[in-house]
Structure 1
Amino acid sequence: MNPSRARYDLIIIGSGPGGFRAALVAARRRKRVALIEFRELGGTCLNWGCIPTKSLLAVGERLARHGAGGEAGEADFWNDPNLSDWGKAQAYKNAQVLRLRQGLEGVFKKMAVDVYRGMGALEGPNTVRVNDQRLEGERILLAAGSLTPPLPGFEFDGERVIHNKDLLDAARLPRSMIILGAGPMGCEFANWLVDFGVAVTLVERAENLLPQFDETVSRALRRSFKQKGINVKVRCEAERLEKTAKGVRLHLKGGEVLEAGQLLVAVGRKPRLNPEVIGPVDLKLNRGFIVVNEYFQTSVPSIYAVGDVIGGPMLSHVADAQGAYAAANATGDHIAWPDPPIPGCVYTDPEVAAVGLSEREANARGIATKVGMAYYAMNGRAVASDQTAGLCKVVVRASDDRLIGCHLCGATATEIIAAAATAMSLGATARQLADMIWAHPTYSEVLAEACRACVTSAHD
Structure 2
Amino acid sequence: MADTTGTAFDIVVLGGGSGGYAAALRGAQLGKSVALIEGGKLGGTCLHNGCIPTKALLHAAEIADNARDGAHFGVHTELKGIDMAGVNQYKESVVARLYKGLQGLIKSRKITVFEGYGKLVDKNAVEVNGQRVTGENIVLGTGSYARSLPGLDIGGRVITSDQALQLDWVPRSAIILGGGVIGSEFASVWRSFGADVTIIEALPHLVPNEDEALSKAFERAFRKRGIGFNLGVRFQGVTQDDNGVHVTLEDGKTFDADLLLVAVGRGPVTAGLGYEEQGLTLDRGFVITDERLHTGVGNIYAVGDIVPGLQLAHRGFAQGIFVAEQIAGLNPQPIVESGIPRVTYSDPEVASVGLTEAKAKEIHGADAVETLEYNLGGNGKSQILGTAGFVKLVRQKDGPVIGVHMIGARVGELIGEGQLIVNWEAYPEDVANLVHAHPTQNEALGEAHLALAGKPLHAHN
Question: In the alignment, which residue of structure 1 is the partner of 2:381?
Answer: 381
Contact 1:122 1:279 in 2 (8 A): no
1:40-85 deviation digits (Å, cap 9, x = unpaired): 1100000000000000001111122237xxxxxxxxxxxxx9x961
CA–CA separation in structure 2 for the residues paired with 1:250 and 1:458: 50
Q: Is residue 12 of structure 2 the alignment partner of residue 11 of structure 1?
A: yes
Picking from 433, 436, 439, the partner of 2:434 is: 436
Q: Secondary structure at the match of 1:226?
A: helix
The number of equivalent residue pairs is 442
Correspondent of 1:284 among 250, 257, 281: 281
Secondary structure, counterpart of 1:453 in structure 2: helix
What amino acid does structure 1 have at the position aligned with 2:168? A
AA partner of residue 246 (structure 2): R
Unaligned ranges ≥5, structure 2: 69-79
Aligned AA (2:267): K
Contact 1:239–1:252 (CA<8 Å) still a contact in 2? yes
Q: Distance in 2 between matches of 1:337 and 1:208?
A: 32
CA-CA distance at 1:13 after TM superposition: 0.8
What TM-score does the superposition give when structure 2 sets the normalisation length?
0.91
For the aligned residues, what is the CA RMSD?
2.2
Does the 8 A contact of 1:22 with 1:327 survive in 2? yes
Q: 1:160 aligns with which of 157, 160, 176?
A: 157
Contact (CA 8 Å) 2:176, 2:262: kept in 1 or not? yes
> Is contact 1:401–1:431 with CA below 8 Å preserved after alignment?
no
What is the CA distance between 1:336 and its match in structure 2?
4.4
Partner of 1:396: 395
2:162 is matched by which residue type in structure 1?
Answer: K
Q: Give the corresponding residue for 1:73.
A: none
CA contact (8 A) 1:153 1:241 kept: no
Give per-residue Cα distances to partners, 1:78-120, cap 9 Å, x unaligned.
xxx9x96111110011000111111111001111111111101
Offset of residue 121 of structure 1:
0.5
Q: Normalising to structure 1: TM-score of the pair?
A: 0.91
Structure 2 residue aligned with 1:151:
149
Aligned equivalents of 2:326, 2:359: Cα separation in 1: 33
1:24-47 Cα shifts (integer Å, max 9, x gaps): 111112211111111111000000
Give the aligned partner of residue 32 of structure 2. Answer: 31
Tell me the equivalent position of 1:74.
Answer: none
Please state how far the C-alpha of 1:458 moved relative to its aligned partner.
8.1
Matched to 2:213, the amino acid is T
The percent of aligned pairs where both chains have the same amino acid is 37
Partner of 1:320: 317
Amino acid at match of 2:359: E
Tell me how far 1:288 sits from its aligned partner: 2.3
Deviation at 1:302, TM superposition (A): 1.5
Secondary structure at the aligned position of 1:276 is classed as: coil
* Distance of 1:58 and 1:277 partners within structure 2: 40
**Which residue of structure 1 aligns with residue 203 of structure 2?**
206
The Cα shift of 1:6 comes to 8.5
Stretches of structure 1 lacking an aligned partner (at least 5 in a row): 68-80
Determine helix, strand or coil for the equivalent of 1:423.
helix
Deviation at 1:126, TM superposition (A): 1.1
Which is worse superposed, 140-149 or 334-343? 334-343
Rounded Cα–Cα distance in structure 1 between residues aligned with 2:214 and 2:122 = 48
The answer to which of 83-92 and 117-126 deviates more is 83-92
Residue 379 of structure 2 aligns with an amino acid whose one-letter code is N
Matching residue of 1:238: 235
Aligned letter for 1:321?
A
Structure 2 contact 14–20 (Cα < 8 Å) conserved: yes
C-alpha distance after superposition, 1:347-382 (max 9, x if no partner):
011110111111122222314222111111111111
TM alignment of 1:75-224, pairs within 5 A:
85-157=83-155, 159-224=156-221
Distance in 1 between the 2:420 and 2:331 partners? 24
Looking at structure 2, the residues matched to 319 and 35 of structure 1 have their Cα atoms a distance apart, in angstroms, of 15
1:370 to 2:367 alignment: no
What corresponds to 1:294 in structure 2? 291
Distance in structure 2 (CA, Å) of the matches to 1:32 and 1:309: 24
The structural deviation recorded for 1:316 is: 0.9
Secondary structure of 1:278's counterpart equals: coil
Change (3 A) 1:234 1:279: closer
Q: Which residue of 2 aligns with 1:229?
A: 226
C-alpha distance in structure 1 between counterparts of 2:289 and 2:157, whole Å: 39
Given that 1:178 and 1:202 are in contact with CA atoms closer than 8 Å, whether structure 2 keeps it comes out as yes
Counterpart position of 2:74: none
CA distance in structure 1 between the partners assigned to 2:67 and 2:456 by the alignment: 43
Deviation at 1:279, TM superposition (A): 6.9
Structure 1 counterpart of 2:393, one-letter code: V
Q: Secondary structure of the equivalent of 1:296? A: coil
Displacement after TM superposition at 1:219 (Å): 1.6
Given that 1:372 and 1:395 are in contact with CA atoms closer than 8 Å, whether structure 2 keeps it comes out as: yes
Task: Please name the residue that 1:65 is paired with.
Answer: 66
In 1, Cα distance between the equivalents of 2:445 and 2:333?
31
Measure, in 1, the Cα distance between the counterparts of 2:316 and 2:439: 34
Equivalent residues of 2:435, 2:446 under 8 A apart: no
Provide, for residues 235-258 of structure 1, a one-character-per-residue CA deviation record: whole Å limited to 9, x for no partner.
Answer: 232112122331111111222110
Alpha-carbon deviations, 1:271-316, whole Å to 9, x = none? 1001235373111223322121222211212211111111111111
Report the CA distance shift for 1:338/1:51 in structure 2 as closer, same or farther (over 3 A): closer
The DSSP-based 3-state class of the residue aligned with 2:412 is helix
In 2: Cα distance, 1:276 partner to 1:407 partner: 39
Structure 1 170/3 Cα, relative in aligned 2: closer, same or farther at 3 Å?
farther
Post-superposition Cα deviations, 1:421-444, rounded to whole Å, max 9, x if no partner, equal 101111111122223221111101
Matched position secondary structure for 1:275: coil
